[in-house]
Amino acid sequence: MADTHIEADIAIIGGGGAGIAAAIEAGDDGAKITLIEQAETLGGTAAISGGGCLIVGTPLQESQGIHDTPDLAFEDWVKWGQGAADEQWARFYIDHSLHDLYFWAEKLGAKWMDLKFQEGNRVFRWHRPQNNGLGLMTALINAAKSKGTTRIMTGTAAEKILTENGRVCGVRATNGKSGETTEIHSRTLIVATGGFNSNLDMVLEARPEFKAFKVMEGSGRGATGWGHKLIRELGGYFTHMNHIWFYVYATPDYRDPQARRGLVFRLTPGYIWVNQQGRRFHDESRTGGASATPALLAQNPPHAWAILDTPMTAKMEVADPYYRDGDKVRRDKVQELLDNSPYIRKADTLSELAKKIEVDVSTFLSEVERYNKAFDAGLEREPAFGKSLKQSKKFDTPPYYAIQLFPLARKNFGGVKTDLRCRVLDKYFEPIPGLYAAGEVAGMAGGHINGKAGLEGTMLGPSIFSGRVAGGWAAHEAGFGPGFVGKPNRPG
């Protein structure tokens, strides 16, 4: 017996990108919602994310002379996904991204600031909101709260999905502090619990080949795969679970007692990477999951050392709240990391550094010398991998640093299969009555919207969008509104 019982039209598990969007949408339709979030605050991984969303045909693009169309974006998307993207969901998202994400979020108070190029796209379409993921999520959370249609219970984790006569009818949850249990009885339920990349056991289950090597957890703290477990118990069909988007510019967080979590420091201008044989193996300016990741995974063992001299460390940015003060990097904390991490070595000479990281000294020295010579010769690109030297410099200022890099599981491109209404499907591809899923638990949307690789901005965008779709249809099934309608960006 639960301590408390709550009646709602819709229950939502998870208060991140998808869950909050679902609450806004269902609230607009007049439904009464109860949303539970295990963390003490709302926002999930979405709030610590870069906030970038792939959006097509926007005024921001036009203002920079970029003419983009859904057809062009769809071609890039499908090609980049290497045949594994859910094309129907990809098209659905791309077509709706202008009106149902860009303008919609703007209306709720978000502001789209600038565009960034991302690998695989023929044009700039990665839109960054003001104050990144936190800015976007703050606007959405405020909107959800101001409607007054959603009862929000933070610090409350879902434990079991309730069913009656083969239909989902709510969820049982426990408050982490008081231990009090609550049963929320609802007509429909949306699972929006995010991915599983902060659960190393699940990562290794999906990718057993990594059991022999070190890989790290790299999603938000709440991305533990709990929602996957709840849906699996009801017979939901999971697909493309081995499609995990790994990044390779991360070093273990030595402050994490188990060193399971990774700290990301992407693209430090000038640094080079060497493998355990002391050789460079890649153009380090190409850091994407479809370029750098396969290059690192092809090394034996699949890890590397990032080599920096002292001025380069001044440009190092660690993507973790401990190392940042809002948009600003905390240099004192970065130096603390450089001085204290057992995964970072420091030396006054390059040969000393090579010995400390146990690579072949002469191979390592000749790699650095070849790189340095490119500057002496005034080259625009270094000859080995064609890396542009525009932002880079010679290795000439000790102390030198070597930072150990291991693959980091960042984003789940596979998850529970849903239809275009976000209804969870079973192994016969039939909806489980009353059950919806959106966001990363559903591989960002539908099960596998990205495929094997993502164009970037294709995680948060589809998570928020599918949240809206789930909210609309869950409300409809509960007796409110017409279902998600939206407005596709089509000619005529």
- Name the residues that contact ligand FAD, by CB under 6 A: 13-19, 36-39, 44-46, 48-52, 157-158, 192-194, 219-220, 222-223, 226-227, 319, 410-411, 439-440, 457-461, 463
Nearest-approach distance from CB 99 to ligand FAD, in angstroms: 19
Considering the complex, state which of residue 36 and residue 290 has its C-beta at the smaller distance from ligand FAD.
36
Considering the complex, state which of residue 46 and residue 425 has its C-beta at the smaller distance from ligand FAD.
46
Nearest-approach distance from CB 169 to ligand FAD, in angstroms: 17
Nearest-approach distance from CB 439 to ligand FAD, in angstroms: 2
370 in the Ramachandran plot: left (φ > 0), alpha (ψ -120 to 50) or beta? Answer: alpha
| Among 417, 428, 434, residue whose Cα is nearest residue 473 | 434
How many C-beta atoms lie closer than 10 Å to residue 436's C-beta?
A: 30
Q: Which residue has the tokens 């057809």?
A: 71
Considering the complex, state which of residue 115 and residue 459 has its C-beta at the smaller distance from ligand FAD.
459
Considering the complex, state which of residue 404 and residue 412 has its C-beta at the smaller distance from ligand FAD.
412
Considering the complex, state which of residue 94 and residue 459 has its C-beta at the smaller distance from ligand FAD.
459
Q: Give me the residues paired with residue 437 across strands.
A: 191
Nearest-approach distance from CB 194 to ligand FAD, in angstroms: 3
- Judged by DSSP in three states, 118 sits in coil
Considering the complex, state which of residue 49 and residue 392 has its C-beta at the smaller distance from ligand FAD.
49
Nearest-approach distance from CB 355 to ligand FAD, in angstroms: 34
Nearest-approach distance from CB 93 to ligand FAD, in angstroms: 11
Nearest-approach distance from CB 464 to ligand FAD, in angstroms: 7
Stated length of the chain:
492
Contact 411, 243 (CB under 8 A): no
Q: Which residue is nearest to ligand FAD (CB)?
A: 16
In one letter, which amino acid is 407? Answer: P
Considering the complex, state which of residue 326 and residue 492 has its C-beta at the smaller distance from ligand FAD.
326
CA distance 171 to 152: 14
Nearest-approach distance from CB 53 to ligand FAD, in angstroms: 6
How many C-beta atoms lie closer than 10 Å to residue 133's C-beta?
A: 24
Nearest-approach distance from CB 217 to ligand FAD, in angstroms: 10
| Among 219, 220, 226, 224, residue whose Cα is nearest residue 158 | 226
How many C-beta atoms lie closer than 10 Å to residue 283's C-beta?
A: 19
Nearest-approach distance from CB 19 to ligand FAD, in angstroms: 6
Task: Name every residue whose Cβ is closer than 8 Å to that of residue 362 and which is 6 or more positions away in sequence.
Answer: none
CA distance 433 to 423: 8
Q: CA–CA distance from 239 to each of 293, 411, 438, 462 (Å)?
A: 22, 15, 14, 17
Considering the complex, state which of residue 73 and residue 223 has its C-beta at the smaller distance from ligand FAD.
223
Report H helices in 32-183: 44-48, 59-63, 70-80, 87-97, 104-107, 132-147
- Judged by DSSP in three states, 222 sits in coil
Considering the complex, state which of residue 226 and residue 238 has its C-beta at the smaller distance from ligand FAD.
226
DSSP codes, 79-114? HHTTT-S-HHHHHHHHHHHIIIIIIHHHHTT--EEE
Considering the complex, state which of residue 49 and residue 275 has its C-beta at the smaller distance from ligand FAD.
49
Determine phi and psi for 379, rounding to 5 degrees.
-75, 150
Contact 414, 236 (CB under 8 A): no
Q: What is the DSSP letter of 212?
A: G
